[in-house]
Amino acid sequence: MAFDGQPQGNGYQNNPGQVGYDQAGQGQRGYQQQPLYRQEQYQQTGYGQTGYQASQPQAPYMQAAYGPAGSQATGYTGGAVNTDASYTRDHAERISMARAYGEMAVGLVVTAAVAYLSAASGLLLRFLMATGRLGWIGIMIVQVVFAVSLSAKVMTMKPSTARVMFYLYAALMGFTLSTIFMTYSVPGIFLALLISAGFFFVLSMLSLTTRKNMLGLGSIFMVALLALIAVEVVLLFVAPSNTTLMLVAALSIVLFAGLTIYDAQQTRAIFEAYAGQGTEVIERVSILCALNLYLDFVNLFVYILQLVGQRD
C-alpha cells in the first residue's frame, strides 16, 4: 500500500539499469544502497506502521471540546463505545422535565376550577364586600409570601408536603383570578387561554431547542420583574388610562415570554445538576420548577387577556 511508507513492487531498489552517485563520486547500482526510504522522517508515527492500528491519536482530537460538557474525550481506540450511561441520563432528564410540566398542568387545572367555582358561587364577591380593599391587598400579600416561602423551603420539605403547598397556592391564585369572570366575557377568557397555551408551548420548545443560552440573563429579568411589580403597585392607587394599561400589558407579555424561555432552560439545567440524586430529590426539584413555569403561564394569560379580552 502507498500509505504504510514501505517500498512496494518493482520500485527503484530493484531496478539495476540506473546508475547513481555516492558522496565520494563513485557509481552505484540503482538506488538500493541509498536510504532514501529509510530516513527517520519516514519512520515517524503514522508513516512506518501498518495501516492506522498502531498510530497514536493526535492531540487536537483528544480535547474535551469534542465531547459533551463535563466529559473527556478518549479518541477512537477501536473499542466499542458504551452509550448506556448517556442514554439513561437523557431518558431520566426527559422524564423529569415531563414531571415538572405535568405538575404545572395540574396546578393550572386547580386554578381554573377554583376560579370558576368562586365566581359561580359568589364567594369572592362576598369576601370583598366583607373586607373591602384591605382584604384584597391582604390576599395579594399572602400570595407573595406563600410563593416565596415555597420556593425557599421546597428542597427541605417532604415531596408530599411541597406538592400540597403548591396546589394550595394554585387554589389561592384561582380564588383571586375569579375576578376575570366579573370583568371579561367568557369567550374572551377562552380565547386568551388558547393563545396563552399556544404561546407558552412555542416558547418552551424554542427554549429547549435553541443554541442560545438565556441563563446569563437572570439578573436582567429579575430587575425588570421588580420594576414591573413597582409599576403595578403604583397603578393600584392611581387611575391609569386605557392606553397606559395596554402598554404595560404589552411590555409584561414580552417580559414573561423571556422568563418562560429562561425558566425552561433553567429547569433542564437544574435536572442535569441533580441527576442521580434520588427520586425524592427529583420530586422536590420538579415542584420547584413547576412553580416557576406555572407563574410564567399565569402571568402570560392575565396580560394577554388584558389585550384581547372583551370587557362586560
Q: Find, among 289, 94, 286, 309, the residue nearest to 196 by Cα.
A: 309
| pLDDT of res. 276 | 75
From the CB of residue 100, how many other CB atoms can be counted at a distance below 10 Å? 27
| pLDDT of res. 272 | 85
| pLDDT of res. 237 | 83
Contact assessment for residue 179 and residue 124, using Cβ atoms and an 8 Å cutoff: yes
Residue position matching grid coordinates 400540597? 164
**For 23-78, how does the pLDDT look when each residue is reduced to its tens digit (9 = 90+)?**
444 444 444 444 444 444 444 444 444 444 433 333 333 333 333 333 343 444 44
| pLDDT of res. 301 | 96
As a whole number, the mean pLDDT across the chain is 76
| pLDDT of res. 32 | 44
List, for the chain, all residue ranges whose pLDDT scores fall below the cut of 50.
1-83, 85, 87
Listed by start position, the domains of the chain span 99-308
Q: Which three cell numbers stand for residue 306?
A: 388584558
Q: How far apart are CA 13 and CA 35, in angstroms?
A: 10
